[in-house]
Amino acid sequence: MLSLAGEKEQGALQTRHKYGGVNVGSVGRAERMVAGLLVIAMAVVSTGWWGAAAGAQENTVAPVTTLENVEKALYGRIQEGSLVERLNRVETDLYGETKSGALITRIGTISSFLSGGSADQVSLALQTGAVEWMVFQQLSSDRPMIERIKNLEGALLGQQQGGPLVQRVEKLVSLVWPGGKLNLDKVNVPATTLVKVQLLAGVSSDAAEVGQTVPYKVVEDVRVGNRVVIPAGTLAQARVTEVQKAGPLGRAGRIVLDFGVMPAFDGTLIPLGVAKRATTENESLGLAAGASVAGILLLGPIGLVSGYFVQGKNVSIPSGTSFYVEVLQDTTALGLSLSPVSQR
């Protein structure tokens, strides 16, 4: 969780628990307010909502909603037509033919193949991402799958290819990976693993609203040993959980961000936040003049004035700001190695 606050008195910081996380604010007597104190406090999210929510969603999503998610992943939007027509179109684009069986089974199979899978049955998303990583050194997971495949074919082969998507992606994989097979294996991503991220939109206490999302991306590959677990360019959304606008009597603005989860190469959701290690790393990059276990302090101009005449300052994080977050709990995910499979 990232909390920004500009407050009253230098050194008068306290932490308090709210929304299942840690929120860092400031307290001080009005007659001893300090103007221009900017606090950027980065604190760990203590809840484990990501796992429960993911499990609940997996078990309760209706087949039609699953198909809509598949269509958005493939085409960028929900398709028109009856449920059967839409399913037949997806299967034809993927496999070159329609499948038999109950609708719920067919939809589930497509969804699993598109974004699930394992080291033995690699998902289409993972295969596409692996080739993108090799060719462009980052992912474009915000784009529809068909567009990503077209871009790869243009970069590698000079033009878009024909045929089912499965065969087209297999051809791309065989062009860039020895033996045409990805070297994947399960690895443990330890808690406190650092992840460098960059905000893709700015957020400020005078305009932000609770529930607002702030997109961000991974700047550098996250590796465990020689295996990439989260490639550069992977996208996620932070969420504003608390906002306080600047006000009279020196009351400064505050923003609290929850960084939620980041998808690994194989789609595993990895919880991220800012705890002690990320705080220390951010300080070493010159992002702070001083630090505590709770967060990072950036001190602006200091002057003692009467609080009754002080208008607090709003705080903001500009778009493009880069800093470190960290993995909040040990997580198992598939890691990708450049070594040929035969050399494992």
User: What phi, psi does 178 have (nearest 5°)?
Assistant: -55, 130
pLDDT at 117: 60
Q: Half-sphere exposure of residue 94, counting CA atoms within 13 Å on the CB side?
A: 25
Query: Burial code of 59-76, b = ≥16 C-beta within 10 A, e = fewer?
Result: eeeebeebbbbbbebbbe
**Amino acid type, 109:** T
pLDDT in tens, 191-219: 999 999 999 998 888 888 999 999 999 99
At 307 the pLDDT is 41
With contact defined as beta carbons under 8 Å apart, do 33 and 305 qualify? yes
What is the pLDDT at residue 312? 64
Tens of pLDDT, residues 95-117:
999 999 999 999 999 998 988 66
* Terminal alpha carbon distance of the chain: 38
Collect the ranges in the chain with pLDDT lower than 50.
7-58, 288-308, 343-344
For residues 162 and 229, give the distance between their C-alpha atoms in angstroms, rounded to a whole number. 31
Give the contacts of 71 (CB within 8 A, at least 6 positions apart).
77, 78, 79, 86, 90
Per-residue pLDDT tens digits for 38-70 = 233 333 233 333 333 333 344 567 899 999 999
What are the backbone dihedrals phi and psi of residue 83, each rounded to the nearest 5 degrees, phi first? -60, -45
Asked if 150 and 162 count as a contact pair (C-beta separation under 8 A), the reply is no
Contacts of residue 273, Cβ cutoff 8 Å, sequence gap at least 6 = 1, 21, 42, 43, 44, 45, 258, 259, 325, 326, 328
Beta bridge partners of 235: 217
C-beta separation of 284 from 290 below 8 A: no
Beta bridge partners, 29, equal: none
Sign of the CA dihedral running 181, 101, 72, 79: positive
Q: What is the pLDDT of residue 310?
A: 56
